[in-house]
């Protein structure tokens, strides 16, 4: 039996030595394991034990390393690989201190028992460190099925939503609302609001928002502040704009957050000459935020009820005069409304309570209709037959031009602008022939540079009556009428009183 075991061991040793010298092919324990069989357990000898001890000394473990399912190599010390990977994670962690980093399941190791283990430790480890990706555990904020931003965790993502809400409601209102919702307080149980009070009934997001965990590149993870800015900035959607009277290219561009060049690029098919035609439809761009915050707010406030105004004609009151019979007073009412706002813009207002606290008092005015030949109405007629304003009231040639000049009439007849009494009629230096009519209501009108006059002082004239002929007397550069208006002794612009 002993001789047989020695022969088996000798044969095995020769084969192993031959394989070792050639270095062409290593045999695994699974394909080249030597099996020593004994006749009975009680007959095992010292020689058999020596063979088994020698066999165990040739066995060892190597670790096959796979990266994303692809074999990279093998190491004989798994701890060296672990240390190298952890060192890479630590180096990245220094840059992204707040993130939870890992390599996920990219690297896998499969151990194997082999004879005479041998592995390229450094080559394998270098390949793994170079290729392995360090990932960050993050929470993806998804809006209506579209992933918008990545944050470090769900708590940070929920913080972004809260910050967005705080753009449109106060922290106190939001906390109070959350407390009511936790206590399941319904609107019907809320106390009645007093004048000037308000409360937030609901704050919600119009879109469907969800969060999901995923491993991502640390560079793609943003802070809550950065995420908030990105969500508020949103995307751009195409819109149309109809050109209005008075629009300019710059105004339209600025209104839609564009430069003039960008606006032109959006409308390449429209000729520049017709771009600003009223009614023309232009392509413009408007920002559309990713999320819309809906705020439902109840408000109670007292509002004025404007008084009505009534005018009653009075035949005993001279035409042109008015008199207050009853002074108007505004009323007051309490109005409670529920407003729905979208990103701060009121979209709907529902009146839930409208109670009159004080009735308004009507304002009544008497309007005179009695015609007095010597008294004007305050509304002036055009003092010429046709013609146009050749010079307005204002500074001219270094001095004040006190009235308006009317030139090129259809005919040269000058007419009284309103009922009144002739106060003066004659020559007045630079005015030439001049007529002043006192309209007995605080107003006086002046007619100058007349060629001739057909009325005299003290004469009562009616509105539209002929008082003279247009001319060029006095300091005049041509045939025209110089026309002035004085009200209660103050020079006034005739254009504010003329009524053709």
List the single range of 12-21, 162-171, 227-236, 286-295 with lowest mean pLDDT. 12-21
What 3-state class would DSSP assign to 226? helix
- CB atoms under 10 Å from CB of 171, counted, come to 10
Q: How many CB atoms lie within 10 A of CB 240?
A: 8
What's the mean per-residue pLDDT of the chain?
85
For residue 92, what is the enclosing H or E element? helix 78-93
**pLDDT confidence of residue 329:** 97
Across the range 323-335, mean pLDDT stands at 96
Q: What is the pLDDT of residues 23-75, one digit of tens each?
A: 333 323 222 222 222 222 233 333 444 444 455 567 899 999 999 999 999 99
Q: What is the pLDDT of residues 229-243, one digit of tens each?
A: 999 888 756 678 899
Of all residues in the chain, the percent with pLDDT exceeding 70 is 87
Q: What are phi and psi of 206, to 5 degrees?
A: -65, -35
* Cα 267 from Cα 285, distance rounded (Å): 11
Q: How far from 421 is each of 71, 376, 457, CA to CA, in Å?
A: 117, 9, 8
- Work out the pLDDT band at 3, boundaries 50, 70, 90: very low
Point out which residues pair with 212 in neighbouring strands: 140
Closest alpha carbon to 445 in 483, 476, 407:
483
Provide the residue ranges of all domains of the chain, joining segments of one domain with +.
1-133, 235-288, 293-370, 384-496
The fold of 384-496 is Glucose Permease (Domain IIA) (2.70.70)
Using only C-alpha atoms, the chain has a radius of gyration, in whole angstroms, of: 50
Q: Strands (DSSP E) along 327-393, which ranges?
A: 331-342, 345-358, 363-370, 384-385, 388-391
| Cβ neighbours for 419, distance < 8 A, ≥ 6 positions apart | 371, 372, 373, 374, 375, 376, 377, 439, 440, 460, 461, 462, 463
pLDDT at 360 exceeding the cut of 90: yes
pLDDT digits (tens, 9 = 90+) for 435-475: 999 999 999 999 999 999 999 999 999 999 999 999 999 99
CATH class for domain 293-370? Answer: mainly beta
| Rounded Cα gap, residues 237 and 47, in angstroms | 88
Residues 469-495, mean pLDDT to the nearest whole number: 96
Contact indicator for 409, 471 with CB cutoff of 8 Å: no
Taking the C-alpha atoms of residue 86 and residue 103, their distance in angstroms, rounded to an integer, is 9
**Burial class of residue 143, CB neighbours in 10 A (0-12, 13-18, 19+):** middle
What is the number of other CB atoms lying within 10 angstroms of the CB of residue 165? 21
- CA distances for 198 relative to 171, 297, 357, 382, 474, angstroms: 15, 7, 19, 57, 72
- pLDDT for residue 160 is more than 50: yes
CA distances from 458 to 121, 394, 422, 438, 453 (A): 127, 31, 5, 10, 14
Residue 494 in contact with residue 394, Cβ under 8 Å? no
DSSP letter for each residue of 265-325: HH-TTS-GGGTT-TT-EEEEEEEE-S--EEEEEEEEEEEEEPPPEEEEEEEEEETT-EEEE
Phi-psi region of 144 (alpha: psi -120 to 50; beta: other; left: phi over 0): left
Quick check: 20 pLDDT over 50? no
Region class of 196: left (phi > 0), else alpha (psi between -120 and 50), else beta = left
The set of residues, in sequence order, having a beta carbon less than 8 Å from that of 192 and lying 6+ positions away, is none
Q: How high is the pLDDT of residue 55?
A: 53
Whose structure tokens read 């809260």?
A: 162
Check residue 142 and give its pLDDT. 95
Q: What one-character-per-residue DSSP string does 128-197 give?
A: HHHH---EEEEEEEEETTEEEEEESSHHHHHHHHHHHHTTTS-HHHHHHHHHHHHTT--GGGSPPPPTT-
The larger pLDDT score, comparing residue 493 to residue 59, is at 493
- Pairwise pLDDT comparison (19 vs 256), residue with the higher score: 256
Q: How confident is the model at residue 274 (pLDDT cuts 50, 70, 90)?
A: confident
CA–CA dist 307, 313 (Å, integer): 20
Residue 175: burial class (beta carbons within 10 Å; 0-12, 13-18, 19+): exposed
What pLDDT is recorded for position 500?
Answer: 62
pLDDT digits (tens, 9 = 90+) for 171-198: 999 998 888 888 887 767 788 999 999 9
Q: Which pLDDT score is estimated for 105?
A: 76
Average pLDDT of span 135-140: 95
Distance (Å, rounded) from C-alpha 384 to C-alpha 411?
A: 8
- Give dist(CA 81, CA 123) in Å, integer: 11
Closest among 145, 139, 153, 160 to 207, alpha carbons compared: 145
Average pLDDT of 139-165? 95
What is the pLDDT, as a whole number, of residue 286?
A: 53
Question: d(Cα 339, Cα 206) in Å, to the nearest integer?
Answer: 16
Question: Would the pTM of this model clear 0.75, i.e. be above it?
Answer: no
What pLDDT was estimated at residue 109? 93
Q: Are 476 and 434 in contact (CB under 8 A)?
A: no
- Architecture per CATH, 235-288: Roll (3.10)
Q: What confidence score (pLDDT) does residue 50 get?
A: 44
Contacts of 321 (CB under 8 A, 6+ apart): 367, 368, 441
pLDDT value at 135 more than 90: yes
Q: Contact at 8 Å (CB) between 63 and 109? A: yes
For 401-424, how does the pLDDT look when each residue is reduced to its tens digit (9 = 90+)?
Answer: 999 999 999 999 999 999 999 999
Distance CA 156, CA 227 (A): 10
Instruction: Report the candidate in 451, 448, 440 with the shortest Cα–Cα distance to residue 484.
Output: 448
């Amino acid at each position: 039996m002993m001789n047989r075991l020695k022969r088996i061991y000798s044969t095995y040793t020769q084969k192993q030595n031959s394989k070792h010298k050639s270095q062409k092919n290593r045999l695994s324990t699974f394909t080249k394991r030597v099996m020593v069989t004994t006749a009975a357990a009680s007959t095992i000898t010292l020689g058999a034990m020596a063979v088994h001890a020698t066999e165990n000394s040739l066995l060892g473990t190597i670790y096959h390393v796979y990266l994303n399912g692809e074999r990279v190599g093998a190491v004989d010390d798994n701890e060296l690989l672990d240390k190298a990977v952890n060192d890479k994670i630590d180096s990245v962690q220094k840059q992204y201190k707040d993130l939870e980093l890992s390599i996920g399941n990219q690297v896998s190791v499969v151990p194997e028992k082999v004879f005479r283990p041998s592995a390229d430790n450094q080559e394998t480890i270098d390949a793994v460190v170079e290729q392995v990706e360090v990932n960050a555990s993050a929470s993806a904020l998804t809006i209506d099925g579209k992933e918008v931003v990545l944050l470090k965790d769900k708590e940070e993502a929920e913080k972004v939503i809260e910050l967005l809400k705080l753009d449109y409601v106060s922290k106190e209102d939001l906390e109070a609302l959350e407390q009511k919702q936790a206590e399941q307080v319904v609107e019907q149980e809320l106390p009645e609001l007093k004048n000037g009070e308000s409360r937030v009934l609901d704050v919600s997001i119009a879109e469907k928002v969800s969060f999901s965990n995923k491993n991502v590149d640390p560079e793609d993870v943003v802070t809550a502040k950065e995420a908030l800015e990105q969500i508020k900035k949103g995307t751009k959607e195409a819109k149309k704009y109809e050109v209005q009277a008075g629009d300019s290219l710059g105004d339209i561009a600025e209104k839609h957050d564009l430069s003039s060049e960008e606006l032109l690029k959006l409308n390449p098919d429209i000729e520049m000459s017709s771009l600003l035609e009223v009614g023309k439809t232009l392509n413009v761009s408007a920002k559309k935020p990713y999320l819309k915050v809906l705020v439902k707010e109840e408000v109670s406030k007292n509002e004025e009820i404007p008084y009505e105004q009534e005018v009653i004609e009075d035949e005993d009151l001279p035409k042109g005069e008015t008199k207050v019979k009853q002074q108007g007073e505004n009323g007051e009412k309490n109005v409670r409304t529920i407003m729905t706002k979208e990103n701060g813009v009121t979209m709907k207002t529902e009146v839930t309570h409208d109670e009159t606290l004080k009735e308004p008092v009507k304002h009544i005015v008497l309007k005179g209709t009695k015609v007095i030949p010597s008294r004007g109405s305050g509304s002036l007629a055009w003092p010429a037959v046709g013609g146009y304003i050749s010079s307005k009231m204002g500074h001219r040639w270094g001095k004040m031009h006190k009235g308006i000049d009317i030139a090129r009439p259809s005919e040269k007849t000058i007419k009284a602008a309103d009922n009144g009494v002739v106060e003066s009629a004659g020559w007045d230096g630079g005015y030439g022939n001049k007529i002043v009519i006192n309209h007995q209501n605080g107003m006086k009108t002046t007619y100058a540079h007349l060629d001739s006059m057909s009325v005299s002082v003290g004469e009562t004239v009616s509105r539209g009556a002929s008082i003279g002929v247009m001319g060029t007397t006095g300091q005049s550069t041509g045939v025209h009428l110089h026309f002035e208006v004085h009200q209660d002794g103050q020079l006034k612009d005739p254009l504010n009183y003329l009524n053709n």
